[in-house]
Chains A and B, each alone.
Chain A
Amino acid sequence: EDKVVQSPLSLVVHEGDTVTLNCSYEVTNFRSLLWYKQGKKAPTFLFMLTSSGIEKKSGRLSSILDKKELFSILNITATQTGDSAVYLCAGDEAYGQNFVFGPGTRLSVLP
């Protein structure tokens, strides 16, 4: 059965800290991995990763995919209180299961 596992499930840090969120996946016919940030409203899209070893960056956020070891990490440097949210990763299958979402990592950034 396809599944996506995220760790940690919950994380509390202070402003300025750097965090690494983990996502491992077992998705048949894997096509890509997506990261979303979910606050109180709709999830906002962060990254789509299809190729192994190529880092994607957006401001203080960066992510990389390892298709051999079947995982991805999301890094956030110099965290801010506005980074507090649930971070979701989802595996996209070419056909069949469609998207498999992980349980999310709840990040709390304290002032």
Chain B
Amino acid sequence: DTAVSQTPKYLVTQMGNDKSIKCEQNLGHDTMYWYKQDSKKFLKIMFSYNNKELIINETVPNRFSPKSPDKAHLNLHINSLELGDSAVYFCASSQDETGIYEQFFGPGTRLTVL
């Protein structure tokens, strides 16, 4: 069974469009995350979210917004896509936000903005 899943796995779109990436975890975890992998393979945290709190990395443009319809889902919505948004985006979840527990990663979504 897939623990953390993302859809779509590939997304090719035009500049200026609005798109969403979905993430679901079936682990019963309280905290979910979105990361952007840059061209050097570094993972930069964008958001962490649990039932109580959304923590936003201040460097993330406000065109990016996480939406959580329920505890098992944290979707990433991106408005007015730009060329520099092209990257692999990873969703992850952990038992809580303390950092004590491991994060489980999804397979990633490769976004290409043309």
Contacts and interface: CB of A to CB of B under 8 A. Distances in A.
Interface of A: 34, 36, 38-45, 48, 86, 88, 90, 95-101, 103-104, 106
Interface of B: 9-10, 35, 40-45, 88, 90, 98-100, 102-105, 107-110
Given A36-B43, A43-B35, A96-B9, 13 more contacts: A38-B102, A40-B98, A40-B99, A41-B99, A42-B45, A45-B42, A88-B105, A97-B9, A98-B9, A98-B110, A99-B90, A100-B107, A101-B105
A13 to B, nearest CB: 19
Interface of chain A, helix or strand or loop or mixed? Answer: strand
A101 B108 CA distance: 10
Nearest to B110: A98
Contacts of A39: 99
